Amino acid sequence: MEYTTLVAVYNRLSATDATGEKRAILADVFADAGGALPRLVVLVWGRLGPAYDRPELGVSSSLALEAVCRATGAAKSAVRERWRETGDLGSAAAWAAEHGGQQTLFAESLTVDRVHERLREVATFAGEGSRTRRVDAVAGLVADADPDEACYVVRTVLGHVRVGVGEGLIRDALADAFLDGSDAAVAAIESAYQVTSDYPLVAERAREAGLDGVQALDISLGRPVRAMLAAKAASLDAGLSSAAGPDDRIHCEYKYDGVRVQLHVDDEIRVFTRRLADVTAQFPDVVRAVERGIEGPAILDGEVVGYDPATLGGDAAARAPVPFQELSTRVKRERGVERVAAEVPVVFHAFDYLYNGATLLDRPLADRLDRLESRLTPISPRPAGDPAVAGLELATAARTSADDPDPAAALYRAALETGHEGLVLKDPTAPYTPGRRVGRLLKLKPTMEPLDLVVTRAKYSEGRRSGLLGRLSLACRDEAASEAGDPALREVGRLSTGYTDDELAALTDRLEARVVARDGRAVDLQPGVVLEVEYEEIQRSDAYDSGYALRFPRFLGTRADLGLADVDTLARVEHLYESQ
Ligand code: ATP
Q: How far is the CA of 504 from the centre of ligand 1 (A)?
A: 37
Q: How far is the CA of 360 from the centre of ligand 1 (A)?
A: 21
CATH of the domain at 292: 3.30.470.30
CA–CA dist 155, 473 (Å, integer)? 45
Q: How far is the CA of 437 from the centre of ligand 1 (A)?
A: 11
Q: Is residue 183 part of a domain?
A: no
Identify whether residues 431 and 499 lie together within a single domain: no
Looking at 106, 127, 158, which one is the last position of a domain? 158
Looking at 103, 138, 158, which one is the last position of a domain? 158
Please indicate whether residue 443, judged by its CB atom, sits closer than 6 Å to ligand 1: yes
CA–CA dist 307, 122 (Å, integer)? 38
Identify whether residues 340 and 456 lie together within a single domain: no
Q: Is residue 62 part of a domain?
A: yes
CATH of the domain at 551: 2.40.50.140
Identify whether residues 409 and 470 lie together within a single domain: no
Please indicate whether residue 432, judged by its CB atom, sits closer than 6 Å to ligand 1: no
The pLDDT of residue 106 is 56
Please indicate whether residue 424, judged by its CB atom, sits closer than 6 Å to ligand 1: yes
CATH of the domain at 89: 1.10.3260.10
Please indicate whether residue 255, judged by its CB atom, sits closer than 6 Å to ligand 1: yes
Looking at 132, 158, 184, which one is the last position of a domain? 158
Identify whether residues 332 and 308 lie together within a single domain: yes
Identify whether residues 464 and 409 lie together within a single domain: no
Q: Is residue 284 part of a domain?
A: yes
**3-class state of residue 472 by DSSP:** strand
Q: How far is the CA of 263 from the centre of ligand 1 (A)?
A: 16
Identify whether residues 412 and 501 lie together within a single domain: no
Q: To the nearest 10°, the Cα dihedral for 507, 511, 513, 518?
A: -140
The predicted-structure confidence for 405-421, as pLDDT tens digits, reads as follows 999 999 998 898 888 88
CA distances from 489 to 21, 170, 483, 525, 557 (A): 60, 57, 11, 12, 20
**3-class state of residue 303 by DSSP:** strand
Listed residue (489, 468, 493, 490) closest to 554, CA to CA? 493
Q: To the nearest 10°, the Cα dihedral for 309, 310, 314, 318?
A: -90
CA distances from 217 to 48, 167, 206, 225 (A): 22, 18, 10, 12
Listed residue (399, 400, 382) closest to 391, CA to CA? 382
Q: Is residue 41 part of a domain?
A: no
In terms of Cβ atoms closer than 10 Å to its own Cβ (0-12, 13-18, 19+), residue 550 is buried
The pLDDT of residue 234 is 74
Identify whether residues 411 and 504 lie together within a single domain: no
Domain that holds residue 110: 47-158
Q: Is residue 259 part of a domain?
A: yes
Please indicate whether residue 351, judged by its CB atom, sits closer than 6 Å to ligand 1: yes
Identify whether residues 384 and 467 lie together within a single domain: no
pTM, to two decimals: 0.77
- Among protein residues, the one with the nearest Cα to ligand 1's atom 3 is 443
Please indicate whether residue 303, judged by its CB atom, sits closer than 6 Å to ligand 1: yes
**3-class state of residue 453 by DSSP:** strand
Please indicate whether residue 260, judged by its CB atom, sits closer than 6 Å to ligand 1: yes
- Among protein residues, the one with the nearest Cα to ligand 1's atom 14 is 230
- Among protein residues, the one with the nearest Cα to ligand 1's atom 20 is 260
The pLDDT of residue 373 is 97
The predicted-structure confidence for 83-100, as pLDDT tens digits, reads as follows 988 888 999 999 999 987
Identify whether residues 546 and 397 lie together within a single domain: no
Q: Is residue 192 part of a domain?
A: no
Number of separate domains in the chain = 3
The pLDDT of residue 440 is 81
Q: How far is the CA of 415 from the centre of ligand 1 (A)?
A: 14
CA–CA dist 499, 554 (Å, integer)? 8
Q: How far is the CA of 247 from the centre of ligand 1 (A)?
A: 25
Identify whether residues 254 and 381 lie together within a single domain: yes
Would you tell me how many other CB atoms lie within 10 Å of the CB of residue 391? 25
Residue 401 CB contacts under 8 Å (≥ 6 apart), including other chains: 244, 248, 249, 250
For residue 101, which phi and psi values (nearest 5 degrees)? 90, -10
**3-class state of residue 554 by DSSP:** strand
Residue ranges in the chain whose pLDDT is less than 50? none
User: Closest ligand 1 atom, CA of 274?
Assistant: 18
Instruction: Give the chain's length.
Output: 580
Please indicate whether residue 253, judged by its CB atom, sits closer than 6 Å to ligand 1: yes
The pLDDT of residue 42 is 96
The residues that are catalytic are: 255
- Among protein residues, the one with the nearest Cα to ligand 1's atom 10 is 229
Q: Is residue 197 part of a domain?
A: no
User: Closest ligand 1 atom, CA of 230?
Assistant: 10
- Among protein residues, the one with the nearest Cα to ligand 1's atom 16 is 255
Q: Is residue 171 part of a domain?
A: no
User: Closest ligand 1 atom, CA of 260?
Assistant: 20
**3-class state of residue 493 by DSSP:** strand
Q: Is the dihedral of CA 472, 478, 483, 488 positive or negative?
A: negative
Identify whether residues 341 and 293 lie together within a single domain: yes
The pLDDT of residue 455 is 97
Residue 227 CB contacts under 8 Å (≥ 6 apart), including other chains: 260, 262, 274, 301, 434, 435
Please indicate whether residue 395, judged by its CB atom, sits closer than 6 Å to ligand 1: yes
Identify whether residues 432 and 338 lie together within a single domain: yes
The pLDDT of residue 438 is 73
